[in-house]
Amino acid sequence: MHPHPLFNRSDLRLIATLFFILITTFGITSADPVTNWEITSGEYEDTRAFDIVQTGDGGYIIVGATIHPWEEGYTVPSPFYQAYIIRVTSTGTILFEKTIDDERTRAISRIIRTKDGTYAIAGSTSHPPDHDSDAYLALMNEDGTILWERAYGGEHYDSAFDLVEVEEGGFAIIGVTTRTETHPDQDIYLIRTDDAGDILFEKSYGDKYTDSGHSISMTHGGGFIIAGDGAFSLIRTDESGSILWTKSLRETSDLGSGVLTTPNAILATSDGTFVAAGTTLSQDGDRFTLHASLVKIDENGGLVWHQDYPGDGVSSFCSVAELESGDICAVGGTGTPDPLGNPLFTRENSIFFVTVDGSGDPIMQTSIRRGRYSRGNALHISEDAFIIAGSVSTEKGEEEGDDQRGELTRAFAISLSNDGDEVPTKELSTPLLYAPVLAVPFFIFTRWRLKKGLKKE
């Protein structure tokens, strides 16, 4: 009698079948993008990174704001925002961290590298005695030294959220301006300046309600494409700021359902179209959803496609960029709905990073979580990496080893590999964690088959 094999052919066929069912049911997903480096930084309890740009030597400058705690001797209201600047090498080593520290408040929303190698920054500022916020534009060098700065606005709240360098020279800034204090009537605010920050013209767009400009990009025809919310979601203008067309991304129906897309970032793509990245709020009766979305618009304002990306259930995009291949990348945040509260909010949040093809179909998507809340606010694409800047929040006790309550928010940046074939092609999940668990009953079953076969002989 020949020795009984551990598995006969029918057992092997059964094993192969069960394994095939296992991998097709749960899916084998690709790995995370390779992390090249990451940094976490912050001077006070709440520090956030809003944008990142590459320097001439291959490093990066990260900008944002930090909340200065109460301190005796300051004439400004406490706590207040200070502009926060981080300089890192190409490998993520921090060279310096600094604030623009005086009795004027500043927050930096956007940074770009200019044609002459300096850096233009835009955001908001206020100063004694009235502390009303103004739109802010400044020029600085790689050491974070301010070369000149300008403030724009009226008597009430004004702020800048984005800027571009104009090919003919100077800058275009987009943001918000407020007409009245008691019943805020806010408009989208466009400022066109010369190289020294002096105003060439100002424009405002909107109706009698709240409008806000979030992002601006140069068009191939020399004008501007503006994204925001309010009466207009998208505005295309000529080089003098005169409107060529507007588009609303709001849809309603007679059944009580509605869709409202708010673009947070706008990109003029290489094929002459525009891609807006933001958030789509959908209502169907009493049910609400909040999903990250990308909308592609042709040069005349016609809708090409609109795609939503739910992520973990609740999601949004803050920044968008284009690869040389024409694929689109977007970053923001995602989390699971809070089961005890509003389904549009999350208990925890992760950085949400997506790459899609020219039709908006996902090529890769992944989430990155550090601490309880993580969010990506800006995205930069270098030759071999995706660099994301944002913020992470943790319980104070987790980091400081004490029992303090509350959260500690830090500026955060991470560099992910962009090496083509190494970039994952599916969303990261955890199905293979189930393999050890499923292997136990599977092993017991095969041993039972073996013993049964031996008894028959």
Residue with tokens 């009537």: 185
Look at 10-19, 118-127, 147-156, 167-176 and tell me which has the smallest mean pLDDT.
10-19
Q: In a 3-state reduction of DSSP, which class is residue 20?
A: helix
Mean predicted confidence (pLDDT) in 23-37: 57
Phi, psi values for residue 265, rounded to 5°: -150, 145
pTM over 0.85: no
pLDDT digits over 393-426, tens only? 976 655 544 444 457 899 999 999 876 433 333 2
Bin 73: left if φ > 0, else alpha if -120 < ψ < 50, else beta.
Answer: left
Q: What pLDDT, on a 0 to 100 scale, did the predictor assign at position 70?
A: 58
* Residue 386 pLDDT class (50, 70, 90 cuts): very high
Q: How confident is the prediction for the chain on average, in pLDDT?
A: 81
Percent of the chain whose predicted confidence (pLDDT) is above 70? 75
**Secondary structure (3-state) at 335:** strand
pLDDT at 456 over 50: no
Tell me the three state secondary structure of residue 345: coil
Say what the pLDDT of residue 210 is: 84
Rounded (to 5) percent helix, strand, coil in the chain: 10, 50, 40
**What does residue 422 show for φ and ψ, rounded to 5 degrees?**
-80, -15
What is the residue extent of each domain of the chain?
8-29+438-457, 253-379
Cα–Cα distance measured from residue 424 to residue 267, given in angstroms and rounded to the nearest whole number: 24
